[in-house]
Structure 1
Amino acid sequence: MKSSTPVSSCKEIECESNEIVTPSVPRYIKWIYRLDSFGIETRGIERVSPAERDEIAMSTSPYIQTLQVIGLWWAACGGLTSMSSFFLPTLVYSLSLRDSLISGLISMIIGCLVPAYCSMLGPKSGLRQMCQARFLFGQWGVKVVSLIVLVGGIGWSVVNCVLGGEILRAINGSISLAVGIVVIAVISLVVAVFGIRVLLKFQTILSVPILVATILFYVVVCKKTGHLGDANQMIKDMDIAYSDRAGNWISFFTVGYSVTATWGSGASDYYILFPENTSSTKVFFITFLGIAIPTTFVAVAGTICGTIALSYKPWNDAYNNLGTGGLIMETFSSWGTFGKFVTVLLFLSLICNNIMNTYSMAFEFQLIDQHLVFVPRWIWALVVTAIYIILSLLGREHFSTILGNFLPMLGYWISMYIALLLEENLIFRSSVKVKRLHEKEFDCDDNTTTPFYTMYNWNNWNRPRGRTLGLAACLAFCCGVAGAVVGMNQVYYRGPLADKIGQYGGDIGMFLAFGFAGIAYPPLRYWELKRFRR
């Protein structure tokens, strides 16, 4: 696929609509687009038209497309980024192995439903996930949402960089944590700037060694399962009250959910090259299984390893002295040089996860202001890389704290987003009767019932008057924020409702955010439709 620059796409929009006056590309940045000839993808949030996707489909086997997406998800989800969260339930939340697995796996599977649902609109729209959100939040509301997604992506990148630095430092003590952080960031940037097609191939190739490394990690971890009984006994001896244990269980449930649910903010980014007639059911299950299977695979290994580390002194010392990276390196210590090699393979999984963050985050800048679309995506990828390198260097000694406090915050916002998206699609865009209320958004004169994904006029992706104002979504989102605030349980703040769950509180902000936003949206949306008819 030839990358189309914002120059051509914006001229087309000017001709079709008088609602946005798009200035021409400034001369001083036109030279940037010449880099497109070297393979660097300059295309930003512009829609990939059905004709372009059909052309790609003619030159690419659908089986290859599917295989590449499966490889993409396995490389990103089947490695250390996902695994790192599942070291926490025993070491941080003092949960037994049984409680850790139940809380972590159930919440993680539920979280997979979010990106699976979001991904279905990728082939139908040809738009990035947050560009689609314009049809929900409107031209101005989506700017706030894009900032939230940007913060979340940067947070995940900080997690990847700090963990990568810990691993390199554990492999070779002469390598500083800062060097490891920079290595992760630079490699991620190089791959991300070349665009989605290079990204898909890169991830698919690396998914194989990452899978092999994870299997070998199981081998070394299972050799020490005799210490699981000691760990469970230690937890029993802690004499934690039932209410306190329940609070910890709920808090980790939010962490497990956030590990997979947060992919929803960019899930459809990786399906924009699929033909428009691609089965939504197929896309849903590819995404759901593509995230759920590898994440489950590493989640079980991480949970077992973290439980053993509670009672097995060599692993516990490694964790306390060198963090999660030190713990992983210690598990392979008996294998000598080969063990270090396997650890390096697991290190690659952090790069794969970080590439996707770096790639998708660049689009959020272009949604903040229409003039920023003229700056090619790879420039924004460079900017965002510089930001998370600095933040990683500042927070490099506090990995567990970053992970435990940061992930639940992402769970709050994605819960509100999926609640609003579900209600918009299933209630307000599911019948001909409701369809007529959107007359300003649609240019259809048929009287047939159509599936929700055809209830959007995707040609209006950059025409504000052809979409909802977003008032209902923004107000409902604010209600969801109120629910998150009263239910959150963080080091820096504990909501009044969360405070009632045990001595240490329980994080129920995710549930309340979903509920508050979901209850508020239907009446607000009915009012918006009646008042503005779009």
Structure 2
Amino acid sequence: MTTTSSTEIRGIERRTIDPVPASERHGRPFNQFTLWFGANMQVTAVVDGALAVVFGAHAIWAIVGLLIGNLAGGAVMALHSAQGPRLGLPQMISSRAQFGVLGAGIPLILVIIMYLGFAATGTVLSGQAINAILHVSAPAIGIVIFGALTFVVAAFGYRWIHALGRIATVLGILGFLYLTIKIFVDEGAHTLLGNPHFDIVSFLLAISLGAGWQLTYGPYVADYSRYLPADTPERKTFGATFAGSVIGSMWSMSLGALIASVPNSTFLDSQVGFIGTLAGPAAIALIIYLVIVIGKLTVNTLNAYGGSMTILTTATAFLKRDRVSPAVRMICVFCFLAVSVIIALVASADFLSNFKNFVLLLLMVFTPWSAINLVDYYLVSKERVDIPALYDRHGRYGSWNATALISYAVGVLAQIPFLAQSLYTGPITKALGGADISWLVGLLLTAAVYYPWAKRTSSPPDRLIPFDRPTTTDTAEEAAAPDLQG
């Protein structure tokens, strides 16, 4: 019995932080399109698009700004995805090549916080939809049910997640097409798009919201492309991921900008409730609520799965482990979701304002990480990675890499004068009238600091060095069996 067939029979993914061997590689780049399209056809993306209008932009300029941000951030995110088939690794394991085996734990801790935040905020909205379906009023009921559904899919792993993405794609197209047509029929194009006015501050905010949405996928996007065959062309992985994520998010965000432009709307009071009212008759509203739940379930599963991978990546660096069992991964998923549900239960007030600040704050800590990871992989190491050394703190990459860690700190600190947060507004941002361009500063400055320094100090291998021993965890006979596809 091959490892692949054994995994399929059990229905539970076997791989965690260890490399995916050639015998288990499968799928097509188009699967990346459906996963990321489905993951973005969801209500939190609608809220993200609405924020640009809520905080001052006209719908037309909000959509243009969101498009610019999504294109820029989507390109960065898709470059991370293209690493998956070649390395066969979860995204954050590969960042050990830049930060060191232990040093990678510093951005990893922030990644875990990000996943918890998105999982919790998404659970609040999904709980509202489930409550509407069940006709109950207690918020805890919908939140707990949604957390349980997320656990089921995330626990089974990679194949189930991609299958859910395909379902979310079909339902998302049907549901969002109906809502898009309905809002134009009900309100009219002139009401939604008439009398455009341009404001540079809110326009830059829209760009930041779009870019931040895409950039925060970076730390886990390769988790969902790592099973593709190693010879999958990078341009196909990049293109499928980029198209799926940008098209899906722009449709959702554009709908959000339109919804927020409805005069005297109640969207700020109840995001899910307003969408249900927009849908019309109770039977159709019920279907739309189901679409909301499936879309949020897709992305929340990504958060739970990616969160568990990140926790395991951090812990195993200190425990000197290069693999863990599926049971341990499932326990991590459960604990992660339990915490996110608790956060959702106690932190649902002022959701829109908190979410805006949360997204923009995440940009400050993740754009420098993306810059370092991509510059090193594509320009310094040129896709040559010593995979066994990623699990050995005494190997090529060591425990801590000062070049990456200092560059990362510079990239984070340099953004502070450019921040536009409710608790702090930087002096340069005040001079710009409140426009937040911190994410762009963090991305470009970090790359400019890291690249010349890493070119002088790094010693990448001459070629990609694959994992040098069997990666199955079944029987000794299976471990000794020849790799017929390798």
**2:80–2:374 Cα contact (<8 Å) kept:** no
Match of 1:494 in 2: 425
Q: One-letter code of the match for 2:238?
A: F
- 1:369-393 deviations in whole A, cap 9, x for unaligned? 2238646211110111011111111
**1:209–1:345 Cα contact (<8 Å) kept:** yes
Match of 2:346 in 1: 394
**2:37–2:245 Cα contact (<8 Å) kept:** yes
**2:96–2:390 Cα contact (<8 Å) kept:** yes
**For residues 414 and 47 of structure 2, what CA distance do their matches in structure 1 show?**
28
1:69 to 24, 29, 32: 32
Match of 1:256 in 2: 210
Match of 2:128 in 1: 166
2:401 to 461, 464, 470: 470
- 1:188-225 deviations in whole A, cap 9, x for unaligned? 11110001012212321332122111111112111134
**1:163–1:399 Cα contact (<8 Å) kept:** no
Is 1:282 aligned to 2:236, yes or no? yes
Q: CA deviation at 1:285?
A: 0.5
The change in CA–CA distance for 1:283 and 1:246 in structure 2 (over 3 A counts) is: same
Q: CA deviation at 1:358?
A: 0.8
**1:119–1:284 Cα contact (<8 Å) kept:** yes
**For residues 209 and 529 of structure 1, what CA distance do their matches in structure 2 show?**
47
Structural RMSD (CA): 2.6
- Structure 1 stretch 123-132 or stretch 341-350: which is displaced more? 341-350
Match of 1:29 in 2: none
The change in CA–CA distance for 1:227 and 1:330 in structure 2 (over 3 A counts) is: farther
- 1:69-98 deviations in whole A, cap 9, x for unaligned? 32212210122232220111222x111122
2:295 to 330, 341, 349: 349
- Structure 1 stretch 467-476 or stretch 398-407: which is displaced more? 467-476
The change in CA–CA distance for 1:343 and 1:489 in structure 2 (over 3 A counts) is: same
Match of 1:52 in 2: 23
Match of 1:379 in 2: 331
**For residues 345 and 423 of structure 1, what CA distance do their matches in structure 2 show?**
38
The change in CA–CA distance for 1:46 and 1:460 in structure 2 (over 3 A counts) is: same
The change in CA–CA distance for 1:517 and 1:230 in structure 2 (over 3 A counts) is: closer
**1:122–1:268 Cα contact (<8 Å) kept:** yes
Match of 2:463 in 1: none
SS in 2 for 1:369: helix
**For residues 367 and 4 of structure 1, what CA distance do their matches in structure 2 show?**
26
1:324 to 226, 249, 271: 271
Structure 1 stretches of 5 or more lacking a match?
A: 6-34, 237-241, 430-451
Is 1:273 aligned to 2:227, yes or no? yes
Match of 1:148 in 2: 110
Q: One-letter code of the match for 1:399?
A: F
The change in CA–CA distance for 1:513 and 1:427 in structure 2 (over 3 A counts) is: same
Match of 2:440 in 1: 511
Match of 1:41 in 2: 13
Q: CA deviation at 1:274?
A: 1.2
- Structure 1 stretch 381-390 or stretch 515-524: which is displaced more? 515-524
**2:63–2:254 Cα contact (<8 Å) kept:** yes
**1:81–1:160 Cα contact (<8 Å) kept:** yes
Q: CA deviation at 1:2?
A: 3.5
**2:52–2:209 Cα contact (<8 Å) kept:** no
Q: CA deviation at 1:38?
A: 4.6
**2:70–2:214 Cα contact (<8 Å) kept:** yes
Is 1:99 aligned to 2:51, yes or no? no
- 1:265-294 deviations in whole A, cap 9, x for unaligned? 111111121111111111111111111122
**1:158–1:391 Cα contact (<8 Å) kept:** yes
**2:46–2:256 Cα contact (<8 Å) kept:** yes
Q: One-letter code of the match for 2:44?
A: T
Identity of aligned residues (%): 20
Is 1:359 aligned to 2:305, yes or no? yes
Q: CA deviation at 1:173?
A: 5.7
Q: CA deviation at 1:67?
A: 4.0
**For residues 268 and 19 of structure 2, what CA distance do their matches in structure 1 show?**
48
TM-score normalized by the length of structure 1:
0.79
TM-score normalized by the length of structure 2:
0.86
SS in 1 for 2:421: coil
Where do 1:61-140 residues align within 5 Å? 62=27, 65-91=28-54, 93-140=55-102
**For residues 257 and 481 of structure 1, what CA distance do their matches in structure 2 show?**
17
- Structure 1 stretch 140-149 or stretch 123-132: which is displaced more? 140-149
Match of 1:189 in 2: 151
Match of 1:435 in 2: none
Q: CA deviation at 1:248?
A: 2.5
The change in CA–CA distance for 1:497 and 1:178 in structure 2 (over 3 A counts) is: same
- Aligned residues, how many? 451
Q: CA deviation at 1:232?
A: 5.7
Q: CA deviation at 1:44?
A: 1.7
**For residues 523 and 279 of structure 1, what CA distance do their matches in structure 2 show?**
28
**For residues 209 and 158 of structure 1, what CA distance do their matches in structure 2 show?**
23
Where do 1:3-22 residues align within 5 Å? none
**2:404–2:450 Cα contact (<8 Å) kept:** yes
The change in CA–CA distance for 1:230 and 1:279 in structure 2 (over 3 A counts) is: closer
The change in CA–CA distance for 1:272 and 1:170 in structure 2 (over 3 A counts) is: same
Match of 1:12 in 2: none
The change in CA–CA distance for 1:320 and 1:427 in structure 2 (over 3 A counts) is: closer
Match of 1:436 in 2: none
The change in CA–CA distance for 1:523 and 1:104 in structure 2 (over 3 A counts) is: same
**For residues 461 and 196 of structure 1, what CA distance do their matches in structure 2 show?**
22
Kindly name which structure, 1 or 2, has the bigger radius of gyration based on alpha carbons.
1
**1:167–1:347 Cα contact (<8 Å) kept:** yes
The change in CA–CA distance for 1:426 and 1:38 in structure 2 (over 3 A counts) is: closer
Higher helix share: 1
Q: CA deviation at 1:298?
A: 1.9
**1:70–1:204 Cα contact (<8 Å) kept:** no
Match of 1:220 in 2: 182
Q: One-letter code of the match for 1:458?
A: I
**For residues 499 and 271 of structure 1, what CA distance do their matches in structure 2 show?**
41
**2:52–2:205 Cα contact (<8 Å) kept:** no
Q: CA deviation at 1:357?
A: 0.9
**For residues 61 and 45 of structure 2, what CA distance do their matches in structure 1 show?**
18
Q: One-letter code of the match for 1:183?
A: I
SS in 2 for 1:141: coil
**1:134–1:467 Cα contact (<8 Å) kept:** yes
**2:126–2:292 Cα contact (<8 Å) kept:** no
Q: CA deviation at 1:304?
A: 1.3
Higher relative contact order (CA closer than 8 Å, sequence separation 6+): 2
- 1:355-411 deviations in whole A, cap 9, x for unaligned? 111111101111222238646211110111011111111111222022111111222
Q: CA deviation at 1:514?
A: 1.6
**For residues 192 and 452 of structure 2, what CA distance do their matches in structure 1 show?**
54
**For residues 198 and 90 of structure 1, what CA distance do their matches in structure 2 show?**
36
Structure 2 stretches of 5 or more lacking a match?
A: 460-486
2:449 to 517, 520, 531: 520
- 1:248-274 deviations in whole A, cap 9, x for unaligned? 322232111111221111111111211
- 1:295-314 deviations in whole A, cap 9, x for unaligned? 22222222111112xx1x3x
**1:171–1:329 Cα contact (<8 Å) kept:** no
Is 1:198 aligned to 2:157, yes or no? no
SS in 2 for 1:425: helix
